[in-house]
Structure 1
Amino acid sequence: MNWDIIEGKWDQVKGSIKEQWGNLTDDELTEIAGKKDKLAGKLQEKYGWTKEEAEQHMDDFVRERT
Protein backbone atom coordinates (compact mmCIF):
# COMPACT_ATOMS: atom_id res chain seq x y z
CA MET A 1 0.00 0.00 0.00
CA ASN A 2 1.30 3.45 -0.83
CA TRP A 3 0.04 6.93 -0.05
CA ASP A 4 -1.89 7.23 -3.32
CA ILE A 5 -3.91 4.18 -2.27
CA ILE A 6 -4.30 5.49 1.27
CA GLU A 7 -5.56 8.81 -0.04
CA GLY A 8 -8.03 7.04 -2.32
CA LYS A 9 -9.29 4.79 0.47
CA TRP A 10 -9.06 7.35 3.25
CA ASP A 11 -12.50 6.60 4.70
CA GLN A 12 -11.55 2.94 5.13
CA VAL A 13 -8.04 3.70 6.46
CA LYS A 14 -9.07 6.41 8.96
CA GLY A 15 -9.94 3.83 11.61
CA SER A 16 -6.48 2.29 11.44
CA ILE A 17 -4.87 5.73 11.54
CA LYS A 18 -6.96 6.65 14.60
CA GLU A 19 -6.00 3.36 16.26
CA GLN A 20 -2.30 3.95 15.54
CA TRP A 21 -2.29 7.62 16.57
CA GLY A 22 -5.10 8.08 19.06
CA ASN A 23 -4.28 11.73 19.74
CA LEU A 24 -5.72 12.68 16.34
CA THR A 25 -9.34 13.79 16.46
CA ASP A 26 -12.03 12.82 13.97
CA ASP A 27 -12.13 16.43 12.76
CA GLU A 28 -8.36 16.39 12.15
CA LEU A 29 -8.63 13.11 10.25
CA THR A 30 -11.35 14.63 8.08
CA GLU A 31 -9.15 17.68 7.48
CA ILE A 32 -6.12 15.52 6.59
CA ALA A 33 -8.16 13.65 3.94
CA GLY A 34 -5.32 11.25 3.18
CA LYS A 35 -2.77 13.94 2.38
CA LYS A 36 0.64 12.69 3.52
CA ASP A 37 2.04 16.15 4.25
CA LYS A 38 -0.99 17.13 6.34
CA LEU A 39 -0.76 13.92 8.37
CA ALA A 40 2.95 14.48 8.94
CA GLY A 41 2.24 18.01 10.17
CA LYS A 42 -0.46 16.84 12.58
CA LEU A 43 1.81 14.10 13.94
CA GLN A 44 4.56 16.65 14.49
CA GLU A 45 2.12 18.92 16.30
CA LYS A 46 0.51 16.20 18.45
CA TYR A 47 3.57 14.09 19.28
CA GLY A 48 6.41 16.62 19.13
CA TRP A 49 8.23 14.71 16.39
CA THR A 50 10.46 16.17 13.73
CA LYS A 51 9.27 15.96 10.14
CA GLU A 52 11.68 13.06 9.57
CA GLU A 53 10.38 11.19 12.64
CA ALA A 54 6.77 11.67 11.57
CA GLU A 55 7.53 10.43 8.07
CA GLN A 56 9.37 7.39 9.47
CA HIS A 57 6.37 6.50 11.65
CA MET A 58 4.08 6.92 8.65
CA ASP A 59 6.33 4.74 6.47
CA ASP A 60 6.35 2.08 9.21
CA PHE A 61 2.55 2.24 9.35
CA VAL A 62 2.30 1.64 5.60
CA ARG A 63 4.93 -1.11 5.64
CA GLU A 64 3.10 -2.97 8.42
CA ARG A 65 -0.07 -3.05 6.32
CA THR A 66 1.40 -4.38 3.08
Structure 2
Amino acid sequence: MPILTTKELQALSDQLDFEKVLHCKYLSAVQECQDDGLKGKLQSMADQHRQNYTTLLGYLK
Protein backbone atom coordinates (compact mmCIF):
# COMPACT_ATOMS: atom_id res chain seq x y z
CA MET A 1 0.00 0.00 0.00
CA PRO A 2 1.39 3.42 -0.92
CA ILE A 3 2.20 5.91 1.81
CA LEU A 4 -0.56 8.47 2.31
CA THR A 5 0.24 12.16 2.32
CA THR A 6 -0.67 14.43 5.21
CA LYS A 7 -3.49 15.90 3.14
CA GLU A 8 -4.85 12.43 2.33
CA LEU A 9 -4.66 11.38 5.98
CA GLN A 10 -6.55 14.51 7.02
CA ALA A 11 -9.24 13.85 4.41
CA LEU A 12 -9.53 10.26 5.61
CA SER A 13 -9.79 11.43 9.22
CA ASP A 14 -12.49 13.94 8.29
CA GLN A 15 -14.46 11.27 6.43
CA LEU A 16 -14.15 8.86 9.38
CA ASP A 17 -15.59 11.54 11.66
CA PHE A 18 -18.40 12.20 9.19
CA GLU A 19 -19.31 8.51 8.91
CA LYS A 20 -19.29 8.10 12.70
CA VAL A 21 -21.62 11.09 13.16
CA LEU A 22 -24.01 9.81 10.49
CA HIS A 23 -24.03 6.33 12.02
CA CYS A 24 -24.92 7.77 15.44
CA LYS A 25 -27.62 10.06 14.00
CA TYR A 26 -29.30 7.22 12.13
CA LEU A 27 -29.20 5.01 15.24
CA SER A 28 -30.82 7.80 17.22
CA ALA A 29 -33.52 8.15 14.56
CA VAL A 30 -34.15 4.38 14.67
CA GLN A 31 -34.78 4.55 18.42
CA GLU A 32 -37.27 7.41 18.03
CA CYS A 33 -39.10 6.09 14.96
CA GLN A 34 -42.57 4.56 15.35
CA ASP A 35 -43.04 3.39 11.75
CA ASP A 36 -41.60 -0.12 11.26
CA GLY A 37 -40.99 0.35 7.53
CA LEU A 38 -39.11 3.58 8.05
CA LYS A 39 -37.29 2.12 11.05
CA GLY A 40 -35.92 -0.67 8.84
CA LYS A 41 -34.67 1.82 6.25
CA LEU A 42 -33.04 3.98 8.94
CA GLN A 43 -31.34 0.90 10.42
CA SER A 44 -30.08 -0.02 6.96
CA MET A 45 -28.60 3.47 6.57
CA ALA A 46 -26.96 3.23 10.01
CA ASP A 47 -25.47 -0.14 9.05
CA GLN A 48 -24.16 1.29 5.76
CA HIS A 49 -22.41 4.17 7.50
CA ARG A 50 -20.89 1.77 10.02
CA GLN A 51 -19.59 -0.33 7.12
CA ASN A 52 -18.20 2.80 5.44
CA TYR A 53 -16.41 3.67 8.70
CA THR A 54 -14.96 0.17 8.97
CA THR A 55 -13.81 0.23 5.34
CA LEU A 56 -12.12 3.61 5.73
CA LEU A 57 -10.47 2.48 8.95
CA GLY A 58 -9.06 -0.48 7.06
CA TYR A 59 -7.13 1.89 4.81
CA LEU A 60 -5.13 3.02 7.84
CA LYS A 61 -3.87 -0.48 8.63
Structure number, greater radius of gyration: 2
Question: TM-score normalized by structure 1?
Answer: 0.34
Decide which structure has greater helix share. 2
Question: TM-score normalized by structure 2?
Answer: 0.36
